[in-house]
């Protein structure tokens, strides 16, 4: 039986973008429903992306830390684990996150509807539940926050038991001795770190000239070096001609004529917006070839009463940014305009082993723009805290203007890089004279800490000025 209920606003998708929007709207006093097609809230971020991959990475990096610590490894004791074993750790984290997020909706009296949403007309949605029953709901405003999924080209057989994407890899049950990862973007590099850290022979196929080309060249080179040093094979500038699933593995045929074989393959090359099931034409919208929607500065689509946030609108496709976009869309709906907007310099955190994080401009960008910059560097191997922790791989680099001493970019490689970056980001976000490299010389840091890297790098950079 179909029943109809009216809401002030309906949010489709309960990932970070949907959650930010729903919380903002309910706190403003609107009657809000949020629709989730999976059996629990949190979206791709909680269930297949950010949370599980970082939980896996954490477990693997602790195993590496144990095995490289002279206190433990001298007794011929070494820790070994398999991908399927450490997945259990990721699942406990996912459960905690899901319970936490479910509580937000309950506390704020936001109606939670489970099922797949589909537009019927400009103000009506049908929600199909797992048992096949269909309910219809109407609303004045809609927020599309349906996220993205791994891109699956038609000529790759993802039903084969040895061919995975970054979602299905989380159901990997056999323990491969050798894996090919196709696509060396952020996801491909993070999984390459995880598998290599578990002592799985790893071949990484990069469709571009260098790893993570959007990074500062020095950071990209550092990652390549550490990957090679760990025994990983990287093939740059390669694309596949054919991916062939065999009885006990996979053979990939490259356009360059090379062939490679492994126990399994992870295809991690691109993502697509989840808009195909929404029946967008019914509301007067259409998505582009990547399933994404165009929005204005208020996150409003071409149809006035429909908004969109998160991966479904493309760049920057980060959980942190999506949550902020959700908050801004709630402002736009309740006040007519979004008060806030995303900061200009959004930090990137890449959870490889070791981690990479950066904010602001790269050396290449500054050179091209003919900005007279100088570089301040500190190497982790010289920091007492890093020596104590046995985490001496890595460095911090500050780029600053020669004349004004304004901080232009910060790039960090090594353990805890994604945390360390925020200290510099906080100073960079200050306006005028408050944003200069002098801050790091004139302040007193706790000792020993990783934050001290800023003082060392600042002194190093200022010593280069003449």
- The answer to whether 378 is annotated as binding is no
* Cβ(234)–Cβ(227) below 8 Å: yes
The domain covering 4-150+272-335 belongs, at the CATH homologous superfamily level, to FAD/NAD(P)-binding domain (3.50.50.60)
- The answer to whether 36 is annotated as binding is yes
pLDDT at 4: 65
Q: What are phi and psi of 409, to 5 degrees?
A: -170, 150
Do you find a cis peptide bond into 164, omega within 30 degrees of 0?
no
- The answer to whether 110 is annotated as binding is no
Distance (Å, whole) CA 230 – CA 352? 13
* Cβ(280)–Cβ(273) below 8 Å: no
* Cβ(390)–Cβ(228) below 8 Å: no
- The answer to whether 188 is annotated as binding is yes
Bridge-based pairing of strands 373-379 and 356-360 is: unpaired
Burial class for 255, CB neighbours closer than 10 Å (0-12, 13-18, 19+): exposed
- The answer to whether 115 is annotated as binding is no
> Which CATH number is correct for 163-269, 3.50.50.60, 3.30.420.10, 1.10.10.10, 1.20.120.10?
3.50.50.60
- The answer to whether 46 is annotated as binding is no
- From the CB of residue 65, how many other CB atoms can be counted at a distance below 10 Å? 16
- The answer to whether 379 is annotated as binding is no
Query: What's the CATH architecture for 354-462?
Result: 2-Layer Sandwich (3.30)
Distance (Å, whole) CA 283 – CA 303? 8
Distance (Å, whole) CA 408 – CA 399? 5
- The answer to whether 201 is annotated as binding is no
Residues of the chain predicted below pLDDT 70: 1-4, 73-76
* Cβ(127)–Cβ(2) below 8 Å: no
Distance (Å, whole) CA 83 – CA 195? 8
- The answer to whether 38 is annotated as binding is yes
- The answer to whether 190 is annotated as binding is yes
User: Which residues touch 10 (CB under 8 Å, ≥6 apart)?
Assistant: 32, 33, 34, 35, 117, 125, 137, 139, 141, 142, 143
In the chain, where the domains are located: 4-150+272-335, 163-269, 354-462
User: Which residues touch 388 (CB under 8 Å, ≥6 apart)?
Assistant: 448
- The answer to whether 311 is annotated as binding is yes
- The answer to whether 419 is annotated as binding is no
CA distances from 96 to 47, 48, 91, 113, 114 (A): 11, 15, 9, 20, 19
- The answer to whether 54 is annotated as binding is yes
Distance (Å, whole) CA 428 – CA 420? 13
**Would you give the distance in Å from CA 88 to the centre of its chain?**
21
Beta strands in 81-166 (DSSP E): 111-114, 116-121, 124-128, 134-144, 148-150, 163-165
- The answer to whether 134 is annotated as binding is no
Beta strands in 58-155 (DSSP E): 111-114, 116-121, 124-128, 134-144, 148-150
pLDDT at 1: 36
- The answer to whether 184 is annotated as binding is yes
- The answer to whether 45 is annotated as binding is yes
- The answer to whether 185 is annotated as binding is yes
- The answer to whether 326 is annotated as binding is no
Q: Side-chain half-sphere of 330: how many Cα atoms within 13 Å?
A: 23
- The answer to whether 147 is annotated as binding is yes
Determine the longest span between alpha carbons in the chain, in angstroms.
79
**DSSP-derived secondary structure letter, 300:** B
Domain 163-269 and domain 354-462, same fold? Reply is no
pLDDT at 74: 61
């Amino acid at each position: 039986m179909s029943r109809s209920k009216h809401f002030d606003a309906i949010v489709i998708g309960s990932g970070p973008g949907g959650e930010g929007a729903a919380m903002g709207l309910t706190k403003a006093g609107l009657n809000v429903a949020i629709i989730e097609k999976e059996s629990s809230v949190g979206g791709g971020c909680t269930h297949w992306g950010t949370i599980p991959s970082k939980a896996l990475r954490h477990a693997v990096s602790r195993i590496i830390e144990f095995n490289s610590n002279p206190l433990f490894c001298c007794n011929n004791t070494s820790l070994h684990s398999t991908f399927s074993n450490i997945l259990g750790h990721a699942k406990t984290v996912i459960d905690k996150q899901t319970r936490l997020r479910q509580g937000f909706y309950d506390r704020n009296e936001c109606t939670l509807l489970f099922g797949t949403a589909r537009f019927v007309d400009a103000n009506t949605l049908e929600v199909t539940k797992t048992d096949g029953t269909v309910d219809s709901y109407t609303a004045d405003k809609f927020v599309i926050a349906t996220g993205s999924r791994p891109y699956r080209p038609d000529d790759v057989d993802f039903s084969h038991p040895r061919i995975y994407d970054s979602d299905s890899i989380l159901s990997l049950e056999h323990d491969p001795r050798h894996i090919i990862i196709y696509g060396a973007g952020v996801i491909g590099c993070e999984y390459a770190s995880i598998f290599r850290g578990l002592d799985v022979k790893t071949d990484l196929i990069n469709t571009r000239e260098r790893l993570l080309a959007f990074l500062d060249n020095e950071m990209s080179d550092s990652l390549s070096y550490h990957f090679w040093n760990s025994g990983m094979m990287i093939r740059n500038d390669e694309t596949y001609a054919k991916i062939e699933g065999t009885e006990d593995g996979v053979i990939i045929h490259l356009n360059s004529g090379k062939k490679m074989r492994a126990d399994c393959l992870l295809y991690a090359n691109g993502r697509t917006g989840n808009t195909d099931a929404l029946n967008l034409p019914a509301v007067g919208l259409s998505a582009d070839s990547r399933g994404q929607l165009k929005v204005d500065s208020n996150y409003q689509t071409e149809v006035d009463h429909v908004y969109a946030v998160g991966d479904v609108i493309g760049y920057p496709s980060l959980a942190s940014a999506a949550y902020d976009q959700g908050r801004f869309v709630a402002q736009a709906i309740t006040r007519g305009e979004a008060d806030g907007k995303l900061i200009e310099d959004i930090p990137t955190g890449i959870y490889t082993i070791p981690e990479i994080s950066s904010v602001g401009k790269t050396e290449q960008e500054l050179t091209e723009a003919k900005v007279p910059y100088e570089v301040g560097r500190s190497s982790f191997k010289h920091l007492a805290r890093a020596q104590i922790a046995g985490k001496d791989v890595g460095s911090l680099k500050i780029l600053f203007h020669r004349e004004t001493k304004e901080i232009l970019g910060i790039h960090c490689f090594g353990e805890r890089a994604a945390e360390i970056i925020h200290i510099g980001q906080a100073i960079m976000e200050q306006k005028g004279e408050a944003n200069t490299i002098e801050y790091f010389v004139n302040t007193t840091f706790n000792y020993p800490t990783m934050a001290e890297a800023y003082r060392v790098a600042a002194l190093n950079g200022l010593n280069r000025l003449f």
